[in-house]
Amino acid sequence: MQICGKDFSPSEIDWINTQVKTRPELNRVQLSRLFCRYVGWLKPDGALKEMSCRVAMLRLERNGMIRLPEPRTKTGPLKAVRRTLKGEPRPGISLDVNRAGLMLRAVDKKDAPLWNELVDRYHYLGYSRMGGAQMRFFVHADTHLVALLGFSAAAWRVKSRDGHIGWNETLRKKHLHLVVNNSRFLILPWVQTRNLASGILGLAARQLPVFWRKRYSYAPLLLETFIDKERFRGTCYKAANWIRVGETRGRGKWDRLNTCSQPVKTVWLYPLDKHFKERLCR
């Protein structure tokens, strides 16, 4: 079975079951770390890919292929995002984007609740956990908080994107971490400033590789995003020199039955390296 980008062989599945049977003291976290070391399942920075491993093991258990240790702690559904006064609407502001100094600031642990709240209140998709490697940002113009950005792991398979890159299945699995998804972009509704969106996208494209390398020890080569064609035309992405390469089929991340029940979205890419195709297909 292939889960989370890894092919699980029968011998690896047998190894997991053997560990569970013979080592009852192991919990799920310890088991995932042992397995990552056993097969050499690592992130690009050399750390164990244990979160992906735990997701994969849960899928294997649901399919009846392994039996995991009982969880030590119970995890419930995602809690509702808390509402605070900091997230309340503000008086309208208008800025000169050419004079206002735009600044990208990475969200730290203490700021995360505010980022979550603002996205949940004012983004049409609301707040949800982002998958894989990820970073969140506040965007300030002078002293004003004007926008929020979220970047996360790229979609596993997108026909138009993959065709534009020109890689094969093997290279896609190997190099997908070098593609980063712009999964959230929100300009706060009380901010009315011309050309602000494209200016923010340009700033993010210049600075994200630096932030990403600092956190994950490598720099991405390509950005992607998906825009609901029934809601938006992607004008700001076009103005920021992103490339529209096609449309999705509406399948969504977990569509295993090919129901195509999700909105069709346009696919946009932004190269962070002029040799991105050569490097992703190497």
Burial of 77 (0-12, 13-18, 19+ CB in 10 A): exposed
pLDDT at residue number 249:
84
Q: Where are the beta strands (DSSP E) in the chain?
A: 2-3, 6-7, 102-106, 135-141, 144-153, 179-187, 222-228, 243-247, 265-271
Write the pLDDT tens digit of every residue in 133-161: 899 999 999 889 999 999 999 999 999 99
DSSP assignments along 240-282, one per residue: TT-EEEEE--S--TT-SS----SPPEEEEEEESSTTHHHHHT-
Write the pLDDT tens digit of every residue in 51-87: 889 999 999 999 999 999 988 776 666 678 999 999 9
Beta pairing class for 135-141 and 179-187 = unpaired
Write the pLDDT tens digit of every residue in 80-118: 899 999 999 999 998 887 777 899 999 999 999 999 999
Beta pairing class for 179-187 and 2-3 = unpaired
Which residue is it, tokens 């969880």? Answer: 71
Write the pLDDT tens digit of every residue in 189-245: 999 888 999 999 999 999 999 999 999 999 999 999 999 999 999 999 999 999 999
pLDDT at residue number 238:
96
CA 185 centroid distance within chain: 12
Give the CA count within 13 Å in the CB-facing half-sphere of 119.
23
Where, residue-wise, is CATH 3.40.630.30 in the chain?
90-280
Q: Which two tokens stand for residue 125?
A: 């998709």
Write the pLDDT tens digit of every residue in 253-279: 544 555 456 889 999 999 999 999 999
Decide if domain 90-280 falls under CATH 3.40.630.30. Answer: yes
CB of 134 within 8 A of CB of 153? yes
Distance CA 178, CA 198 (A): 23
Dihedral sign computed on CA atoms, order 188, 80, 3, 53: positive
